[in-house]
């Protein structure tokens, strides 16, 4: 009889143990449906719920500079304790934790990201990990679209710091306190291990900060994550900076084209190509905020291109005056050919008298003087010696007069030509000094 009873106890005991080993019986024993998901799970309403947060940055999906928003994909964890639930793991074959639907039975902290502009509408089921001591953990991925105050002065060598602030909008510090589970070092180290980048941004740093803020005579706790990322500038160097430098170099070299009509056509084509780069840069940058140094550089280069076109038009206008046998006005001659040429180290062309003495001028074209000489020779045979001398002297005076008139015309043309060249030299010097100064400042700003 005793053996039969012992056998029955062992048999029914094994059945009960096997039955208690199922998650279903554990959920039925906990009576999960009796819990209110809208009430804080505390045994005394004065108790404070401690919520621990953990953060892992997986990738930066997009950073929109025009709208100044950032889209990040993070792995987020919340841990808190439910004082109204617990069980002995030995009574259920050592079951220490169980996964249950989060929205059906248990209260969850009403946390949100303060900088978020759009809710995460990604479909998915939220589950909670429930431990035997009442600790609840929530693990879920989160796609965050948030604002980011960007400083684009050093674009495309800029570094941006975006903030994600987690806080509650219902419970004050007397009811709910949030704390970061991991410090800055561990969050950064774990994020760098899993960080996936498309090549646009590199993760530099993540800082974690616990803080409180006051609102309407209440204090609330917040956990602030500051994410620092650095832009990869290779694509912008290839597509923006190098073409802009090439176009500026072409525009400077075009100043050495002697024919002003061809120079104007070439410069207009260069400035049209540069305008396309400005349109591309304008579509990338925000309409307000700090102006990037690259945009200032492009605007200065565009202004200098316009100035060089104006200088070319003025030089062409000055050179057209050489058609008329009028000398340069004294004030313009003094200011341009005396002072400005000296400042610009412009070496003036030798005058016609020096060129004649040096033998650099071509011989005067033959005129009808030969016929006049022949006539005079015929007359010389008939006239007396005095008349011959007077006629010969008159002939030499006429030749000198013609030569003087021709020399005045050539000197006037030479003066107008020198004025045009001095203006070209002035435009080139101003162009080079301005672009070089802005470029040096740009390199210095990027290097800081």
Question: Is residue 248 assigned to a domain?
Answer: yes
Q: Which residues pair with 223 in a beta bridge?
A: 166, 210
Chain segment 69-95, per-residue pLDDT in tens = 999 999 989 999 988 888 888 888 888
Residue 189 and residue 262 in one domain: no
> What would the mean pLDDT of 379-405 be, rounded to a whole number?
64
How far, in Å, CA of 38 to CA of 98, rounded? 21
Q: Which of 164, 57, 41 is nearest to 109 (CA)?
A: 41
Burial 217-227 (b: 16+ CB within 10 A, else e): eeebbbbbbeb
pLDDT digit string, tens, across residues 131-152: 888 898 888 888 999 999 888 8
pLDDT band at 1 (very low <50, low <70, confident <90, very high): very low
- In this model, does residue 330 exceed pLDDT 80? no
Q: Which residue has the tokens 């070299």?
A: 253
> Which of 232, 260, 293 lies at the terminal end of a domain, its last residue?
232
Residues 6+ apart with CB under 8 A from 214: 220
Smallest CA-to-CA distance from 105 within 11, 41, 12 is with 41
pLDDT higher at 353 or 123 = 123
The enclosing domain of 93 has a CATH number of 2.70.170.10
What average pLDDT does this structure show over 206-222?
87
Res 28 pLDDT > 70: yes
Q: What is the pLDDT of residue 3?
A: 38
Taken as a whole, the chain contains a residue count of 448
- Do residue 425 and residue 295 come from a single domain? yes
Are the beta carbons of 174 and 42 closer than 8 angstroms?
Answer: no
Distance between CA atoms of 209 and 217, rounded to whole angstroms?
23
Instruction: Give yes or no for residue 325 having a pLDDT over 70.
Output: no
By the 10 Å C-beta count (0-12 exposed, 13-18 middle, 19+ buried), 206 is classed as buried
Q: Residues 242, 216: one domain?
A: no
- Check residue 170 and give its pLDDT: 85
Q: Which two tokens stand for residue 84?
A: 């109204």
Considering its fold, how many domains does the chain have in total?
2
pLDDT of residue 14: 41
Q: Residue range 179-193: average pLDDT?
A: 92
**Confidence at residue 105, expressed as pLDDT on a 0 to 100 scale:** 74
- Residue 364 pLDDT greater than 50, yes or no: no
> Beta strands 97-101 and 159-168: pairing type?
unpaired
8 found inside a domain: no
- Shared-domain flag, residues 77 and 104: yes
pLDDT surpassing 90 at residue 375: no
In a domain, 96, yes or no: yes
Sort residue 315 into left (φ over 0), alpha (ψ -120 to 50) or beta: alpha
- Are 259 and 393 contained in the same domain? yes
Query: Beta-strand (E) ranges in 19-134?
Result: 49-64, 69-81, 97-101, 111-113, 116-118, 127-131
Residues 233-265: pLDDT tens digits? 888 899 889 999 999 999 999 988 888 889 999
Q: How far apart are CA 20 and CA 237, in angstroms?
A: 67
Does residue 7 form part of some domain?
A: no
DSSP, residue by residue, 225-265: EEEEEEE--HHHIIIIIHHHHHHHHHHHHGGG-S-HHHHHH
Which has more confidence, 18 or 389?
389
Domain boundary among 181, 209, 232: 232
Q: Are residues 111 and 250 in the same domain?
A: no
Q: Is 293 found in the same domain as 260?
A: yes
Name the CA dihedral angle for 288, 292, 293, 294, rounded to a multiple of 10 degrees: -110
For the ranges 3-17, 156-170, 399-413, which has the lowest average pLDDT? 3-17
C-alpha 135, offset from chain centre? 47
d(CA 130, CA 127): 9
141 contacts 76 by C-beta, under 8 angstroms: yes
Considering the domain architecture, whether residues 222 and 275 belong to the same structural domain is answered as: no
Residue 340: partners with Cβ closer than 8 Å, 6 or more residues away: 346, 422, 426
Any idea what the Cα angle at residue 216 is, between residues 211 and 222, rounded to 5°? 20
pLDDT band at 362 (very low <50, low <70, confident <90, very high): very low
10: its two tokens: 């062992």
**Last residue of one domain, picked from the residues 212, 232, 252:** 232
CA distance 266 to 284: 28
Domain of 61 in residue numbering reads as 25-232
20-44 average pLDDT score: 76
User: Looking at the domain assignment, is residue 280 inside a domain?
Assistant: yes
pLDDT for 399:
65
Residue 172 has a pLDDT of 87
**Mean pLDDT (whole number) for 417-440:** 86
- My answer on whether 151 and 107 are in the same domain is yes
Q: Which of 85-94, 193-202, 362-371 has the lowest mean pLDDT?
A: 362-371
Closest CA to 150 of 207, 246, 66: 66
pLDDT greater than 60 at residue 361: no
Please check whether residues 224 and 270 belong to one and the same domain.
Answer: no
Query: Long-range contact list for 125-129, CB < 8 A, 24+ apart?
Result: 125/101, 126/101, 126/102, 127/99, 127/100, 127/101, 127/102, 128/99, 128/100, 128/101, 128/102, 129/97, 129/98, 129/99
Looking at the fold, whether 228 and 242 belong to one and the same domain comes out as: no
The whole model's pTM is what? 0.71
Cα atoms in the Cβ-side hemisphere of radius 13 Å centred on 178: 29
Residue 354: inside a domain, yes or no?
yes
Clarify whether residues 206 and 250 are in a common domain. no
The number of beta carbons lying within 10 Å of the beta carbon of residue 157 is 19
Q: Is residue 344 part of a domain?
A: yes
6 is a domain residue: no
């Amino acid at each position: 009889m005793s053996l039969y009873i012992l056998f029955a106890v062992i048999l029914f005991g094994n059945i009960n143990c096997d039955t208690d080993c199922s998650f279903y019986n554990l959920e039925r024993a906990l009576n999960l449906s009796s819990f209110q998901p809208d009430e804080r799970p505390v045994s005394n309403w004065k108790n404070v719920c401690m919520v621990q947060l953990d953060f892992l940055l997986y990738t930066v999906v997009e950073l929109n500079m025009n709208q100044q928003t950032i889209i990040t994909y993070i792995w987020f964890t919340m841990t808190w304790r439910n004082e109204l639930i617990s069980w002995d793991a030995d009574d259920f074959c050592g079951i220490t934790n169980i996964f249950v639907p989060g929205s059906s039975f248990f209260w969850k902290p009403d946390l949100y990201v303060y900088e978020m502009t759009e809710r995460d509408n990604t479909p998915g089921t939220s589950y909670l990990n429930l431990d035997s001591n009442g600790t609840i953990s929530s693990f879920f991925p989160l796609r965050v679209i948030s604002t980011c105050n960007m400083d684009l002065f050093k674009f495309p060598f800029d570094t941006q710091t975006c903030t994600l602030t987690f806080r509650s909008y219902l419970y004050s510090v007397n009811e709910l306190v949030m704390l970061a589970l991991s410090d800055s070092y561990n969050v950064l180290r774990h994020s760098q291990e899993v960080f996936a980048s498309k090549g646009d941004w590199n993760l530099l740093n993540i800082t974690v900060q616990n803080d409180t803020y006051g609102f309407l005579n209440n204090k609330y706790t917040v956990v602030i994550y500051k994410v620092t990322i650095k832009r990869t500038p290779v694509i912008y160097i290839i597509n923006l900076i190098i073409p802009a430098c090439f176009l500026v170099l072409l525009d400077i070299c075009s100043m050495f084209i002697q024919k002003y009509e061809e120079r104007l056509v070439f410069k207009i084509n260069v400035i049209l190509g540069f305008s396309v780069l400005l349109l591309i840069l304008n579509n990338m940058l925000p309409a307000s905020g700090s102006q990037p140094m690259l945009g200032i550089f492009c605007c200065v280069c565009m202004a200098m291109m316009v100035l060089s076109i104006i200088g070319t038009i003025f030089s062409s206008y000055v050179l057209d005056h050489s058609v008329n046998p009028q000398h340069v006005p004294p004030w313009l001659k003094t200011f341009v050919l005396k002072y400005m040429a000296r400042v610009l180290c412009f070496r003036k062309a030798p005058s016609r008298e020096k060129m004649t003495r040096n033998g650099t001028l071509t011989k005067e074209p033959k005129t009808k003087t030969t016929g006049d000489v022949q006539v005079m020779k015929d007359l010389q045979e008939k006239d007396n010696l005095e008349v011959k001398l007077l006629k010969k002297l008159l002939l030499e005076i006429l030749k000198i007069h013609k030569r003087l008139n021709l020399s005045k015309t050539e000197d006037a043309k030479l003066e107008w030509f020198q004025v045009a060249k001095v203006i070209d030299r002035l435009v080139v010097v101003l162009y080079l000094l301005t672009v070089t100064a802005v470029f040096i400042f740009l390199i210095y700003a990027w290097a800081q």
